[in-house]
Structure 1
Amino acid sequence: MFFASDNWAGAHPAINERLLRESTRFAAAYGTSELDRAIEQRFNEIFEREVAVFFVATGTAANSLSLASIARPGGVVFCHSEAHVIEDECGAPDFFSGMRMVPVEGALGKMEIASLEGRIARYPQDAVHHGRAAAITMTQATEVGSVYTLEEIEAVSATARTHGLPLHMDGARFANALAALGTTPAEMTWKRGVDILSFGGTKNGCWCAEAIVFFDPAMAKELPFIRKRTAQLFSKSRFIAAQFEAYLKDGLWLELAAHANAMADRLRAGISTSNSARLAWPTQSNEVFAIVPKTAAKAAEEKGARFYDWLEPRDMAELVGEDEMLIRLVSSFATTAEDVDAFLKVIA
């Protein structure tokens, strides 16, 4: 019963098998192999246009280098107040980009447009003492398990365009959001005004595979140098490419994300009908947040369940009692229905 994080899951067998095959051959280094080039072309196909793709090792690297590529002196980046870039990356985006992350409030992990506009207004382009607006970054799926609709993405991008700001999307759980919306990669990104994407694979069955995707290759001209200087240019980058080859083949990535979401749906349904636990707020991806009695949480842990207790969001409407706790449950491609049912039985 492993629900602590989708990072706890292993790698999918198809990805392991592809890595094993790659380990027995020679190939050009530093992203110049035929496989690297083939996967770059595969990204073009997936996003229905020519894109520039750069492989990196972690989601933090993808976010930080994405923002570094569009950095401006004195720049500030607007993000949700509970986004990963501002809460959980130890200041890496600030360090590598030289810009500050500025929080924007909004319910269910989504930036509220009026709040975003208000924040941008505080950082005009001539505000030499305060800094100037430089970019917007949004998280899809969000840190609290919700998913921006296509219309909501378009509303954020419209605000970005109005103020001449590039829009970055943190897609650590990109596939889960895509599966939840039932849309296409193109529709959820550049067709809605997204300029740069951190494309995550690690949480969804890869071993170590993340990518930075520029929907206008001209925007990526500085990234090769930024990636090298931040020690993210791997000599054997084909091992990331090999993972992506298996991950993207025959829609495996979407199949894995759909399964993880389905297991989260099973958790949501079971908790919704529970006499002892309740959902803290609605979610659509593979993250579930529940309020459970402390005694039930302890019993579940003693039975082998793994999950994290969670800080209450600033805008959380549901009250947590003194004898209760807020927990986060994350399903993955490796979660089984038996895992879910066993957990629900214990907390009941």
Structure 2
Amino acid sequence: MYFASDNAGPAHPEVLAAIAAANQGYAMPYGADDIMDEVRTRIREIFEAPEAAVYLVATGTAANALALATMCAPYETVFCSPTAHIHEDECNAPEFYSAGAKLTLVGTQDQMTPEALRTAIEGEETRGVHGPQRGPVSITQVTERGAVYTVAEIKALADVAKSFGLGVHLDGARFANAQAALGCTAAEMTWKAGVDAVSFGGTKNGCMGVEAVIFFDPAKAWEFELRRKRGAHLFSKHRYLSAQMQAYLADDLWLRAARQANANCARLVDGLNTVAGAVITSRTDANMIFAELPRAAHQRLAAAGARYYVLAGDVETGDADALLPCRLVCDWSITPELIDQFIAAAKG
């Protein structure tokens, strides 16, 4: 019963089969493989962006950091939420790859508001040469607290950014989960709403390790290529990245897997609502849950072999009824039986 992260789940069999198929014979290196041509075409079709520049890297941190470095000068600042992955979980990689650009945190929640973003932008570039200059806005979709921005909300943030002449980046590590939840198109959630660049995630949703970076304006393409190479993220045997993304996009596996992950999460939420004392503490728009469970429930779950993050408190000792916060994440592979076992253990 693994609910710690959608990174913990297995790669999808269709992805593994594609890697095995790509392992036959020879292919040109460094992204010149024929599979990458197919991937590039397919992503352009999905995003309705025939001129988009499309690249692959192996990690979400590389996708975010290299994309933002391409969009941001060293003396600028990136505007993001306080819980953004680029702020909390990437060990200053955006600052490193941008050669020193800083991050400016917007508001106090996982979702930025247009009002808070405007205030944050207006607060920068006020000290002339002495202070940071305004740089791109980075939106996380799904947020790190499980919420999904609507298309209208993304557009509202992008409109604020554009009013200052700033670019917009979307960290889509869980892009597919968000699109499945909204029922919109990839184009509607990105460039049609004002997004300039996307980190399109695959690893959390059934791939072994691949993310796409998409620039809707190809003018940034060459700079990104140089930064990817200089940053040691250009794979020589690139076909193994291409093959993963090829399978991920084929027959809409990316959406099928995301819908299953979201459905698993909904089933888990329904079950948690039947556990005495359990409280759901945040929105569960996609595949992530933040909740509080009684210490006794955590103890029973640990004894049953459940794996997830308890965010505060000592599970072993203390008041059995005390509520301890936790995070639960569902991927495509979790079965209804495992979810039901988890709920049964929580109930005792």
Range class of TM-score, shorter chain: over 0.9
Deviation at 1:199, TM superposition (A): 0.6
Deviation at 1:16, TM superposition (A): 0.6
Deviation at 1:276, TM superposition (A): 2.5
Partners of 1:309 and 1:22 in 2: how far apart? 40
Deviation at 1:113, TM superposition (A): 1.7
CA contact (8 A) 2:146 2:282 kept: no
2:28 matches 1:28: yes
Partners of 1:200 and 1:272 in 2: how far apart? 30
CA contact (8 A) 1:180 1:284 kept: yes
- Corresponding position of 2:54: 53
Matches within 5 A, 1:81-160: 81-97=82-98, 98-107=100-109, 109-124=110-125, 127-160=128-161
Q: TM-score, normalised by structure 2?
A: 0.95
- Corresponding position of 1:304: 305
Deviation at 1:219, TM superposition (A): 2.4
Bigger mean CA deviation after superposition, 215-224 or 174-183: 215-224
List structure 1 runs of 4+ shifted beyond 4 angstroms.
none
Q: Once superposed, what is the RMSD of the aligned Cα atoms?
A: 1.5
Partners of 1:24 and 1:125 in 2: how far apart? 58
Q: Which amino acid aligns with 2:106?
A: V
- Corresponding position of 2:245: 244
Q: Which amino acid aligns with 1:101?
A: L
Deviation at 1:73, TM superposition (A): 3.5
Partners of 2:293 and 2:47 in 1: how far apart? 41
- Corresponding position of 1:6: 6
Q: How many residues align?
A: 339
Partners of 2:96 and 2:132 in 1: how far apart? 16
CA contact (8 A) 2:33 2:239 kept: yes
- Corresponding position of 1:16: 16
Partners of 2:184 and 2:287 in 1: how far apart? 17
Deviation at 1:299, TM superposition (A): 1.4
Deviation at 1:221, TM superposition (A): 2.7
Partners of 1:37 and 1:151 in 2: how far apart? 33
Deviation at 1:300, TM superposition (A): 0.2
- Corresponding position of 1:329: 328
CA contact (8 A) 2:294 2:321 kept: no
- Corresponding position of 1:342: 341
SS of the equivalent of 1:27 reads: coil
How big is each residue's C-alpha offset from its partner over 1:190-248, in whole Å with a ceiling of 9 and x where there is no partner?
Answer: 00000000011000000011111001111223011000000000011111110111111
Q: Which amino acid aligns with 1:105?
A: G
Q: Which amino acid aligns with 2:290?
A: F
CA contact (8 A) 1:106 1:112 kept: no
Deviation at 1:105, TM superposition (A): 1.6
- Corresponding position of 1:177: 178
CA contact (8 A) 1:74 1:128 kept: no
Q: Percent identity?
A: 44
* Unaligned 5+ runs, structure 1: 313-320
* Unaligned 5+ runs, structure 2: 314-319
CA contact (8 A) 1:85 1:91 kept: yes
Bigger mean CA deviation after superposition, 117-126 or 180-189: 117-126
SS of the equivalent of 1:3 reads: coil
2:217 matches 1:216: yes
- Corresponding position of 1:316: none
